[in-house]
Amino acid sequence: MNRRLLFASAAATLTLGITVALTYPAAAGQSPDAATDAATAAGISPQVFQALARDLKLDPAGVQARLANETKAGKADLALRKSLGGAYGGGWLSADAKTFTVGVTSEAQAAKVRATGATPQLVARSLTQLDAVKAQLDAVATKAPKTVPGWYVDVTTNQVVVLAKSGADAAAFVKQSGVDATAVRVEASAETPVPYIDVIGGNAYYIGSGSRCSVGFSVNGGFITAGHCGSTGATTTQPSGTFAGSSFPGNDYAWVRVNSGNTPRGLVNNYAGGTVTVSGSTEAAVGASVCRSGSTTGWHCGTIQARNSSVTYPQGTVNGLIRTNVCAEPGDSGGSLIAGSQAQGVTSGGSGNCSSGGTTYFQPVNEILSAYSLTLVTGSGPPPSSPPPGGSGCTGYEFSRSGSLSSGGSAYQPDNSYYQSTSSGTHRGCVAGPAGTDFDLYLQKWNGSAWANVAQGATPSNAETLTYSGTAGYYRYRVHAYSGSGSYAMGFTNP
């Protein structure tokens, strides 16, 4: 059908934990179904649960307690990013995930942190300031010596870390960038990151004459993966398709449009004879547990060490990556990083291997979705033609709304008004109308004189999703009944 396309130096530490201390019961004496029961209670697949227990060396009760703490931390972090504004200094979980700490640049803001159950820590720099320091280093990335494999924002120490094989080279690079040297810490590193590609064997997809990479996550029309795996126009097999977009270096992301006969599924291979269901792409906190799937080494887990990391490969520097202690090897490139059931990133590269351990970096999923206006496929297949009973077609979002429209009508959410985002970040929205209708969703931003569409979901379907990476400002959603009438459910998450 024809459609109308509408575009228009840190200070004293304050104390209080996110949870009381938890004692993990011994594994001895537990029934064989203990892990399955605990996984069900935690809302994740048994395969993810078992891999976390294996790689984090926890029993079922320990994994369950950790996941519960991580969920609390994620909700607290989302709320505090907004309420603290320019005083937010980043948030991080302790190694055992029992304590969630949030940096604040003003002691007057500590009460807001305590109110969420988190631990406030007075810091010298906000996360915005740390990101600005890192941006200065990114701006001169082409001048970084080969002995400097990368740099990242370390919220746990309120500094930007520059990894170095030569301290003198790193110091010269930092000086050349013009950043405040007191905000930077040079850290000795033996990392030699390379993109993971060109290893024979494994369950994967192949590029051109036989190079191998791993599928990241399914999206509408195909899948996302690492940019270094193939340039725009390159063809793939198993599944067959074509790189519809690719960016590397600078970024390390791409998406492959698959040929007919290939069906994208919202699943990740756990290399244990099963799959893990993807239900969304909500970002996990620094310190949260994550698992990676790749065609060389299979399924491995660890934790997030930092976000907004820059890594210098032989081909150039890639910015904005997720740094983890999950192992990976060549051929795992492009593969999935998932936290529970939430997509996090695609494998970019790293240092080390799965025998001795290592560091692996991932390109964030939401950035890829925004760059190419893609929609993540969730569940076991494409979005359903009708929402589940009870109007629960949009789940996993921070906010929810519902309403009813006649054919051709529109409604503005939230509550016939708008919301304000005080920082840059990703906006995600979803709408689900009755079966047989065509409901569309538009995200609008105030440009100073009028509301302008900045993102949309406007296919001939009753269910739509959208993702948009935007700057601070005023936003609202327009729900439009293009054809058909009835009740709708809506969900949205904003920075």
Q: What positions carry a catalytic annotation?
A: 228, 252, 333
490 contact partners, CB below 8 Å, separation of at least 6: 394, 400, 401, 402, 403, 413, 429, 430, 431, 432, 441, 477, 479
Helices (H) and strands (E) counted in the chain, each on its own, are 7, 31
Single out the residue of 264, 248, 198, 205 nearest to residue 363, CA to CA.
248
For 455, the enclosing helix (H) or strand (E) is: strand 451-457
Please give the angle made by the CA atoms of 131, 136 and 140, to the nearest 5 degrees.
140
Q: Are 275 and 248 in contact (CB under 8 A)?
A: no
Helices (DSSP H) in 256-388: which residue ranges? 365-372
Single out the residue of 394, 495, 380 nearest to residue 445, CA to CA.
495
397: phi > 0 → left, psi -120 to 50 → alpha, else beta; which?
beta
Please give the angle made by the CA atoms of 76, 131 and 141, to the nearest 5 degrees.
145
The total number of residues shown for the chain amounts to 495
For CA atoms 153, 157, 159, 160, the dihedral sign is: negative
- How far is CA 318 from each of CA 249, 253, 311, 471, rounded to the nearest angstrom? 5, 10, 5, 21
By three-state DSSP, how is residue 108 classified? helix
By three-state DSSP, how is residue 311 classified? strand
Strand ordering across the sheet containing 205-207: 211-213, 205-207, 235-237, 241-247, 253-258, 222-225, 217-219
Distance CA 141, CA 177 (A): 9
2 contact partners, CB below 8 Å, separation of at least 6: none
Q: Residue-wise over 264-285: b if at least 16 C-beta within 10 A, else e? A: bbbbbbbbeeebbbbbbbbbbb
Distance CA 30, CA 417 (A): 53
Single out the residue of 229, 258, 228, 232 nearest to residue 243, CA to CA.
232
